[in-house]
């Protein structure tokens, strides 16, 4: 492993370990902590809002389940998550070899009895915290990205790697893209549009933001949508 990749790997592992200790009862805070090590300007968002922001941000790129371990082992930050009606759940991919899902006891919410989650499949490891009592949602690399969700719920889970300023078309973008979400207008993203590369914007929609002053002509409030 090259020295640069080793440093990236150590950074990701350290950030994940620290997040697990600092925020054992809040998945959104734990993932937020990890993201801030890569993007210090990242605001805190609850899980549902974080999934929505990441899924529409040019600084994040969706990846497949089969890519997760390789990306994490190169030190690439990958966030996974799914929105739910009340509270969604988010995780980060933890470095290490793939392992089977399951292999632990958990308290069944249906029967109230302790059950054993049998092992099956091979998945990337996860950093996950939760205020709930489900054992599968608590992981410092000892469980997988599959464990926090049931079978039907996992079909809704998506994963994104952080590309930030290193994305492929960064050299074509003379201006930076800055995301800013406000509590009073949570669907607002402030983006400085790269004027020399308009084709990079596949679709965007103007949205009002009464919490913000009038901007200069070079700035505009839009919702980025891939």
For 83-162, where are the E strands, in sequence order? 89-101, 104-107, 114-117, 120-128, 139-144, 158-162
Chain length of the chain = 226
31 to each of 101, 108, 181, 196, how far by Cα in Å? 21, 26, 17, 33
Domains of the chain: total: 2
Distance CA 58, CA 193 (A): 11
Query: Which of 114, 136, 162 is the endpoint of a domain?
Result: 162
Residues 59-118 pLDDT 10s? 999 999 999 999 999 999 999 999 998 889 999 999 999 999 999 888 877 777 888 889
Clarify whether residues 18 and 67 are in a common domain. Answer: yes
Clarify whether residues 147 and 96 are in a common domain. Answer: yes
Query: Which of 128, 162, 196 is the endpoint of a domain?
Result: 162
Range(s) of the domain holding residue 207: 168-225
Clarify whether residues 76 and 154 are in a common domain. Answer: yes
Clarify whether residues 127 and 15 are in a common domain. Answer: yes
Clarify whether residues 158 and 175 are in a common domain. Answer: no
Clarify whether residues 152 and 173 are in a common domain. Answer: no
Both tokens assigned to 182: 């406000």
Clarify whether residues 33 and 129 are in a common domain. Answer: yes
Confidence check: pLDDT of 188 > 90: no
Clarify whether residues 73 and 177 are in a common domain. Answer: no
Confidence check: pLDDT of 214 > 60: no
User: In the prediction, which pLDDT does 113 show?
Assistant: 84
Residues 11-50 pLDDT 10s? 999 999 999 999 999 999 999 999 999 999 999 999 999 9
- Provide the whole-model pTM: 0.72
User: In the prediction, which pLDDT does 6 show?
Assistant: 84
């Amino acid at each position: 492993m090259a020295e640069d990749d080793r440093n990236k790997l150590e950074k990701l592992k350290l950030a994940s370990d620290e997040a697990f200790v600092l925020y054992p009862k809040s998945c959104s805070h734990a993932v937020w902590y990890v993201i801030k090590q890569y993007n210090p300007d990242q605001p805190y968002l609850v899980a549902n809002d974080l999934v929505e922001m990441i899924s529409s941000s040019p600084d994040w790129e969706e990846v497949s389940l089969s890519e997760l371990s390789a990306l994490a082992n190169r030190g690439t930050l990958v966030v996974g998550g799914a929105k739910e009606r009340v509270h969604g759940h988010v995780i980060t991919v933890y470095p290490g070899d793939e392992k089977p899902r399951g292999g632990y006891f958990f308290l069944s919410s249906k029967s109230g009895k302790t059950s054993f989650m049998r092992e099956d499949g091979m998945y990337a490891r996860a950093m996950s915290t939760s205020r709930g009592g489900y054992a599968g949602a608590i992981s410092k690399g000892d469980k997988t990205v599959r464990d926090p969700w049931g079978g039907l719920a996992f079909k809704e889970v998506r994963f994104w790697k952080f590309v930030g300023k290193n994305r492929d078309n960064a050299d074509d973008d003379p201006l930076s893209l800055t995301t800013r979400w406000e509590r009073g207008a949570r669907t607002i993203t402030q983006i400085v549009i790269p004027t020399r590369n308009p084709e990079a914007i596949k679709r965007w929609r103007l949205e009002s933001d009464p919490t913000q002053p009038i901007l200069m002509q070079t700035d505009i409030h839009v919702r980025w949508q891939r």
